[in-house]
């Protein structure tokens, strides 16, 4: 008996060595997983075989030594299962742990058990099945009496489902349903942080993403299968910009399949910038761990990790979508040195001012080099017909030639480009509509498909009133020289016009309709 008690005491001592961060701590430990989804779209195995293989990889990551210090761990969108292997998910109000409960599929049961064993908060994205109708939803049900949702499931450190968020803004996701209205899902943790969560394409909309921020949520969980687009919406680029503008901690876990444009994972500390991030040129499955300073502890030290940066030639393997650039009104940046070049562009009711100090690295060469255009857009775009939205933007972006159709493209196959333009400083200013129906942020990316660091920019907004209406005067500056700049912009969404069929579409000489946002997220890639 004494031996048994001794062994139990030893077990208790070992078991208690892993302690969650406390509410008093300035930091918490977070893990985000960039998970290769290539196998999901290329395998000839049965859906059940794929899920079993993926679950084994999930378990390997959770059980790895790198995961030992974690308080919370996040997996990406659309890598766990599919409609054929969908699982019921308990209502968080029921406080159910699916562990060993045969009502739920193995992906949910096993991860619930593991969250409890490892004593961590675990966030996974699954295809959920749910009996319908429910919650007063009067829409017709499918013949099998089931709805299917793209769902984030949050397990606490006991394995109990404490939050469930169903994606509201879908991107062509065949067979996936939405809730009647956007859910605002949050959950509290034992380490003193309340998180909100949404999924991928939700980032482009007011509901639920910005509504969560306005409610006071400072930490966001963001599983995604992002499809990057030049010049404004590559994965890490928009993640960092969104976190910076809202001054929130963003935990972004990305599905990895660069051959179709999918990558982008990171942990971002609001206006303090990215702690760790990656844009991959090869499919990857890897856990990234970060010590995250709590937003309400400005004194907390931030421990940024070395930048993971691939060459422009390596990043050629990352397929990138192209913005509908033909809708912008543009002006060429001259191929000649001036003291400080200044210009203005207007479209509809928006005017942008540009002040640019740059040097030319040498005489015009026969080697390929990026040219640049100043651009403005105040108009409408479509996301492949699945969502029509309004964009407002002032920008400088690169082109491979002299015509507009060469903009938002790259030199391919490792072309030996030369950095002709060296930007010493840039200042963009504009007066934009204000209020909650417009969302504006600083936006930049370089030729290696990474955003500029936050200490390389200076971004400010001042709210003003004109004719009784709210406006915001914005200044965005580049404050450190760059010779590898791809784009630099003030970028914004106008939500109120999304629903207005009579809203004006920009018409300008030499230009048609605009665009400016298109990251593409889909639970079923076709």
The per-residue pLDDT for range 91-125, each reduced to its tens digit, is: 999 999 999 999 999 999 999 999 999 999 999 99
Query: Are 76 and 136 part of one and the same domain?
Result: yes
Q: Is the distance from CB of 250 to CB of 269 less than 8 angstroms?
A: no
pLDDT at 500: 58
Q: Which residues contact 329 (CB under 8 A, 6 or more apart)?
A: 345, 346, 347, 375, 376, 377, 506, 508, 510, 511
What pLDDT does 7 receive? 39
Q: Which of 200, 399, 407, 521 is catalytic?
A: 200
Domain of 137, in residue numbers: 27-316
Let me know whether 311 and 328 are in one domain: no
For residue 412, the model assigns a pLDDT of: 82
And the tokens for 32? 């985000």
pLDDT at 517: 28
Q: Are residues 240 and 291 in the same domain?
A: yes
C-alpha–C-alpha distance, residues 218 and 195, integer Å: 7
State residue 389 phi and psi, 5-degree precision. -135, 165
What would you measure as the largest C-alpha separation in the chain, in angstroms?
Answer: 90
Report pLDDT for 10. 37
Burial zone of 339 (CB within 10 Å; 0-12 exposed, 13-18 middle, 19+ buried):
exposed
Q: Between β-strands 229-230 and 194-197, what pairing exists: parallel, antiparallel or unpaired?
A: unpaired
* Phi, psi of 415, deg, nearest 5: -55, 140
Residue 210: predicted pLDDT: 98
Does a structural domain hold residue 524? no
Q: Check whether residue 183 and residue 161 sit in a common domain.
A: yes
pTM of structure: 0.91
159 and 267 belong to one structural domain: yes
| Segments of the chain scoring below 50 in pLDDT | 1-18, 504-526
129 part of the active site: no
Confirm whether 123 is domain-assigned.
yes
* Distance separating alpha carbons of residues 326 and 7, to the nearest angstrom: 72
> What are the strands, taking DSSP E only, across 225-349?
229-230, 249-256, 265-269, 274-278, 286-293, 321-322, 329-332, 341-347
Q: Is the same domain home to 464 and 393?
A: yes
Catalytic residue among 38, 40, 129, 167: 167
CA-nearest of 196, 214, 301, 314 to 263 is 314
**Structurally, how many domains does the chain consist of?**
2
> Is the domain of 155 the same as that of 293?
yes
* Cα 389 to Cα 204: distance, rounded to the nearest angstrom: 9
277 in a structural domain: yes
268 in a domain, yes or no? yes
Q: Which residue, among 451, 472, 452, 480, has the nearest Cα to 234 in the 3D structure? A: 451
Q: What is the CATH number of the domain that holds 169?
A: 3.60.110.10
pLDDT at residue 520 in the model? 33
Domain ends where: 285, 316, 347? 316
Q: What is the CB-side half-sphere exposure of residue 244 using CA atoms within 13 A? A: 24
Among the options 34, 77, 105, 229, which is catalytic? Answer: 77
366/467 same-domain check: yes
The helix (H) or strand (E) run that includes residue 111 is helix 106-118
333 and 460, same domain (yes or no): yes
DSSP 17-62: T--PPPTT-SEEEEEEEEEE-HHHHH--S-HHHHHHHHHHHHHHHH
Among 316, 335, 365, the domain boundary falls at 316
Do residue 132 and residue 222 come from a single domain?
A: yes
Annotation says 200 is catalytic: yes
Residue pair 271/454 in contact by the 8 Å Cβ criterion = yes
> ∠322-325-331 over CA atoms, to 5°?
135
């Amino acid at each position: 008996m004494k031996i048994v008690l001794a062994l139990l005491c030893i077990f208790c001592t070992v078991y208690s060595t892993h302690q969650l961060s406390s509410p008093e701590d300035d930091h918490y430990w977070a893990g985000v997983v960039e998970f290769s989804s290539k196998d999901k779209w290329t395998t000839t195995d049965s859906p059940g075989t794929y899920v079993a293989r993926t679950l084994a990889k999930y378990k390997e990551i959770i059980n790895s030594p790198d995961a030992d210090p974690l308080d919370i761990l996040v997996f990406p969108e659309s890598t766990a299962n599919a409609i054929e292997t969908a699982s019921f998910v308990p209502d968080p109000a029921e406080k159910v742990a699916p562990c060993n409960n045969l009502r739920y599929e193995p992906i949910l049961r096993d991860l619930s058990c593991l969250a409890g064993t490892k004593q961590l908060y675990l966030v996974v994205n699954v295809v959920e099945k749910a009996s319908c109708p429910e919650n007063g939803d009067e829409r017709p049900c499918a013949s099998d009496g089931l709805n299917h949702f793209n769902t984030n499931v949050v397990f606490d450190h006991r394995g109990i489902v404490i939050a469930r968020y169903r994606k509201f803004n879908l991107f062509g996701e065949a067979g996936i349903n939405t809730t009647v209205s956007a859910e605002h899902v949050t959950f509290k943790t034992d380490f003193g942080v309340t998180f909100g969560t949404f999924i991928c394409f939700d980032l482009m909309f007011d509901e639920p993403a910005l509504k969560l921020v306005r409610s006071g949520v400072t930490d966001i969980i963001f599983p995604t299968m992002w499809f990057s687009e030049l010049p404004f919406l590559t994965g890490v680029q928009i993640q960092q910009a969104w976190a910076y503008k809202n001054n929130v901690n963003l935990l972004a876990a990305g599905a990895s399949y660069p051959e179709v444009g999918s990558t982008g994972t990171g942990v971002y500390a609001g206006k303090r910038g990215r702690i760790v991030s990656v844009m991959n040129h090869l499919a990857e499955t890897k856990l990234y761990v970060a010590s995250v300073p709590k937003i309400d502890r400005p004194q907390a030290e931030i421990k940024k990790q070395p930048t993971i940066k691939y060459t422009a030639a390596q990043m050629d393997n990352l397929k990138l979508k192209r913005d509908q650039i033909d809708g912008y009104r543009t002006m060429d940046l001259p191929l000649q040195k001036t003291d400080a070049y200044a210009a203005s562009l207007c479209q509809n009711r928006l005017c942008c001012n540009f002040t640019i100090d740059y040097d030319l690295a040498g005489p015009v060469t026969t080697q390929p080099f990026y040219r640049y255009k100043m651009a403005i857009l105040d108009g409408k775009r479509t996301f492949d017909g699945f969502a029509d939205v309004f964009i407002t933007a002032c920008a400088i972006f690169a082109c491979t030639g002299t015509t507009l159709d060469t903009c938002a493209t790259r030199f391919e196959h490792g072309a030996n480009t030369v950095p002709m333009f060296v930007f010493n400083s840039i200042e963009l200013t504009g007066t934009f509509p204000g209020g909650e129906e417009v969302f504006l942020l600083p936006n930049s990316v370089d030729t290696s498909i990474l955003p500029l660091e936050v200490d390389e920019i200076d971004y400010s907004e001042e709210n003003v009133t004109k004719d009784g209406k709210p406006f915001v005067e914005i200044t965005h500056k580049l404050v450190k020289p760059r010779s590898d700049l791809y784009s630099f912009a003030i970028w914004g969404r106008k939500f109120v016009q999304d629903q207005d069929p009579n809203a004006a579409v920009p018409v300008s000489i030499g230009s048609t309709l605009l665009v400016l946002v298109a990251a593409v997220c889909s639970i079923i890639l076709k």
